Every structure is written in C-alpha cells, then in structure tokens.
Amino acid sequence: MATLKQFKTGTTARKSTDEGALPVLEFKIDDDEYKTLSPKSSQLAYLIAAGSDSRNEADQVAGVLDFMEQVLDPTSRRRLRKRLLDSADKLELENVVDLMEWMIEQWGARPPTSAGGS
C-alpha cells in the first residue's frame, strides 16, 4: 500500500504588513479609486503562466480577469466588474491589461505578453 505524503501550509494567511509581502497598490481609473490586496507569489505565477504564448487568446483574457478579481479589494472588485459589464462605460479590456501590466511592474515581476498582442 502506498504511503500518503502530507503537506501543510502556513498557520496563518500572509498579510501585506508581513516581511517580504508585496505592497498594496492604489490607483485611479477616471475618477474612481481602486486598491489592491497584497498578492501571493503563486498568484503572480498563475498570471505569468496564463499570459504564456502557449495559451490561446481566450485563456489569456480569462487569466487577466481572474487575476484582477483576486488581487483587488472587495469594493474595487465590484466597481471594476460593474464598469466592465456596463455597455455605456468606456473602460475596455485593453485598459485592464495596461493596468495589470503596471501592477506587475510595481510588484517587480516581468509582465506577461498582452492578450491581444502579436
């Protein structure tokens, strides 16, 4: 019978005030203010993998939107989602990709290839 190897995570979730944590970012889109949470390294790795040239465009777009959903604080997440789904709002996916690339640069990682780039 095979032995089941068990792995354990930390005892508490990492906080933005912990040593080595990535900073919380604040920014504005038009007149709306937004704030991020401090992302985990696994979230950044997921985003970089989602932006890989080996992924199709739909998967890259989904990766960007998933990442934004996870790193924005709850109020900012709701505001961004509402704006993206409002057909009268001028906020487009291209703006979100630019924002995401800025966020990655601020956190010191290499931004992935844009979903619409060639």
Which of 23-32, 35-44, 76-85, 106-115 is predicted least confidently? 106-115
Closest CA to 13 of 36, 35, 34, 37: 37
pLDDT digits (tens, 9 = 90+) for 63-80: 889 989 999 999 999 999
Average pLDDT of the residues in 37-50: 85
Which of residues 103 and 48 earns the better pLDDT score? Answer: 103
Give the integer Cα–Cα distance in Å for 20 and 103: 17
Angle of CA points 72, 26, 33, to nearest 5°: 80
State yes or no: pLDDT of 5 exceeds 60: yes
Which pLDDT band, with edges at 50, 70 and 90, does 29 fall under?
very high
pLDDT for 115 equals 46
pLDDT for 15 equals 61
Q: What is the rounded radius of gyration, in angstroms, for the C-alpha atoms of the chain?
A: 16
Q: What is the mean pLDDT of the chain?
A: 83
